[in-house]
């Protein structure tokens, strides 16, 4: 058996067990046909909207958080079957790969010893080679002061974050944290805070909340300003993004 699958749907408001999932021996592609999930690891968090997936290499441990009704369809690939980047990443899932994931979930598992399944594995691997990574990760800094700032900012991701107050509580100057965030997350402090707001907005949009309410909550003067930020970051308006 080279590929196995698992599918489950979680109703709105239901949360999975907080226990860590271990990917030892198997690479994973976790795909949401509906709803938004957030994957948390020690390295950071990845928000996964509908019709996107998250690639998790073998050996990573993670927890899942759901927004709205979430329908998961997962592929497990035997370690080494697909040569992917070593880290976690959110990826765009092509229409063909969506159908391949659904088909594999109906079959249950795929084995190269069966001719038809061997061909299906080959097509899946071809599609995986063309996955496009999208910027939906919020990397976590390791420095204790920066990690404290990130935790405090997470509790205040709505509206205008009082950065100076958070800096004082973190015990570090802005200059110091700018240096740390760039070194440990490859993002400036401002970029990291904007990414945090974007991922928070994705979860709220998935729950069915209107753009205007989310824009005001996040401190934008208008929904058009929020939509402009969303399009700048993800290339589409919120409506189009959730339709594709």
Residue 174 in 3-state DSSP?
Answer: helix
> How many angstroms separate the CA atoms of 94 and 107, rounded?
20
**Residues forming beta bridges with residue 92, ordered by sequence position:** 52, 132
Percent of the chain with pLDDT over 70: 92
* Band of pLDDT at residue 118, cut at 50, 70 and 90: very high
| pLDDT score at 57 | 86
- Both tokens of 54, joined, read 């998250």
pLDDT of 244 over the 70 cut: no
pLDDT in the model for residue 18? 47
pLDDT at 209 over 50: yes
The lowest-confidence range among 182-186, 187-191, 210-214, 236-240 is: 236-240
| Angle of helix 115-128 versus helix 95-107 axis, rounded to 10 | 140
Provide the pLDDT for residue 7: 87
Which two three-digit tokens encode residue 44? 């950071």
Of 105, 97, 24, 23, nearest in space to 71 by CA: 105
Which residue is it, tokens 């997936």? 53
Taking the C-alpha atoms of residue 215 and residue 231, their distance in angstroms, rounded to an integer, is 13
pLDDT (0 to 100) of residue 115: 92
Query: Which tens digits make up the pLDDT trace of 15-59?
Result: 555 445 666 788 999 888 777 788 888 778 888 877 788 888 888
| Whether CATH 3.40.50.1110 fits 3-134 | no
Answer whether residue 202 shows pLDDT above 60.
yes
Return the structure tokens found at 160: 């205008």
pLDDT of residue 123: 94
* Every domain of the chain and the residues it spans: 3-134, 141-243
Confidence at residue 16, expressed as pLDDT on a 0 to 100 scale: 57
User: What average pLDDT does the segment 90-110 reach?
Assistant: 91
Give the pLDDT mean for 95-123: 92
What local confidence, expressed as pLDDT, does residue 216 receive?
85
> Regarding the domain delimited by 141-243, which CATH topology (the fold level of the hierarchy) does it fall under?
Arc Repressor Mutant, subunit A (1.10.10)
Angle between helices 189-206 and 223-234 (to 10 degrees): 110
**pLDDT band, residue 110 (cuts 50/70/90):** very high
Considering the entire predicted model, what is its pTM?
0.72
- 106 CB neighbour count, 10 Å cutoff: 9
The confidence score (pLDDT) of residue 20 equals 52
The residue behind tokens 């899932």 is: 93
User: What are the distances in angstroms from CA 180 to CA 140, 150, 186, 192, 225?
Assistant: 11, 12, 9, 12, 30
Q: What pLDDT digit, counting tens, does each position of 134-163 carry?
A: 777 888 899 999 999 988 887 776 656 678
Neighbours of 165 (CB within 10 A): 11
The number of angstroms, rounded, from the C-alpha of 74 to the middle of its chain's C-alpha atoms is: 14
**Average pLDDT taken over every residue of the chain:** 84
**Which two three-digit tokens encode residue 79?**
């370690």
Beta carbons within 8 Å of 209's beta carbon, 6+ residues apart: none
């Amino acid at each position: 058996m080279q590929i196995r699958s698992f599918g489950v749907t979680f109703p709105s408001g239901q949360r999975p067990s907080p226990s860590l999932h271990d990917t030892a021996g198997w690479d994973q592609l976790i795909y949401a046909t509906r709803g938004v999930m957030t994957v948390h690891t020690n390295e950071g968090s990845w928000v996964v909207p509908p019709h996107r997936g998250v690639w998790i290499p073998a050996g990573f441990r993670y927890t899942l958080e759901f927004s709205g009704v979430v329908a998961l369809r997962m592929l497990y690939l035997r370690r080494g079957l697909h040569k992917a980047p070593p880290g976690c990443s959110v990826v765009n899932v092509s229409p063909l790969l969506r159908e391949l994931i659904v088909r594999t979930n109906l079959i249950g598992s795929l084995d190269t010893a069966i001719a038809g399944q061997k061909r299906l594995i080959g097509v899946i691997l071809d599609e995986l080679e063309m996955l496009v990574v999208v910027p939906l990760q919020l990397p976590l800094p390791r420095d204790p002061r920066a990690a404290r700032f990130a935790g405090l900012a997470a509790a205040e991701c709505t509206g205008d974050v009082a950065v100076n107050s958070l800096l004082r509580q973190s015990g570090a100057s802005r200059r110091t944290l700018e240096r740390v965030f760039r070194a440990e997350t490859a993002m400036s402090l401002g970029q990291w805070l904007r990414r945090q707001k974007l991922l928070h907005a994705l979860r709220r949009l998935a729950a069915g909340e209107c753009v205007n309410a989310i824009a005001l909550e996040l401190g934008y003067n208008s929904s058009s300003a929020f939509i402009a930020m969303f399009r700048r970051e993800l290339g589409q308006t919120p409506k189009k993004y959730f339709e594709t």
